[in-house]
Amino acid sequence: MFPIVEGSHVLGLGLSVGTIIWFDLRLMGAAMKRYSVSQTFSFVKPWMFAGFAVMMVTGVLLFWSHALKCYNSNFFRLKVVLLLLAGINIVVFHSTIDRRRTEWDKSPLPPFQARLAGFSSLLLWLAIVAAGRLMAYTL
């Protein structure tokens, strides 16, 4: 059962983080400039949330199967901190600059705060993936 759960976790990760990357790149003004930020979010949102749900359920199951090893892993601890920072980034983005999205939604280059949120999200998710893979190889 473990390989199925782990494989599903990786697939959920690819779906969720893969679509998050597209949204982050749009926020940074680096991709999909002909689409508004709202359109881009509408495109990726269902896939992002579906992948995130699979990733969370399977992540909990993976932790449950090796809880003590995970808890003692520095990479696991780093991953949890990075996940918390990613969550904070999302909350700050949605409670600040995103509230004024109608002002800059169609701009090919969003305001600095939006670009910073996208860049931070991109770095955090890449680091989360790296920490997760390093954790898996050291358990």
CA separation for the pair 78, 63 (Å, rounded): 14
Judged on CB neighbours under 10 Å (0-12, 13-18, 19+), 114 is: buried
* Whether this model's pTM surpasses 0.85: yes
Number of folded domains in the chain? 1
CA separation for the pair 69, 122 (Å, rounded): 28
pLDDT at 137: 87
Domain span at 48: 2-138
Judged on CB neighbours under 10 Å (0-12, 13-18, 19+), 64 is: exposed
Tokens linked to 89 = 């980034």
Q: Which of 25, 47, 40 is nearest to 114 (CA)?
A: 25
Per-residue pLDDT of the chain (139 residues; tens, 9 = 90+): 999 999 999 999 999 999 999 999 999 999 999 999 999 999 999 999 999 999 999 999 999 999 999 999 999 999 999 999 999 999 999 999 999 999 999 999 999 999 999 999 999 999 999 999 999 888 7
pLDDT at 132: 93
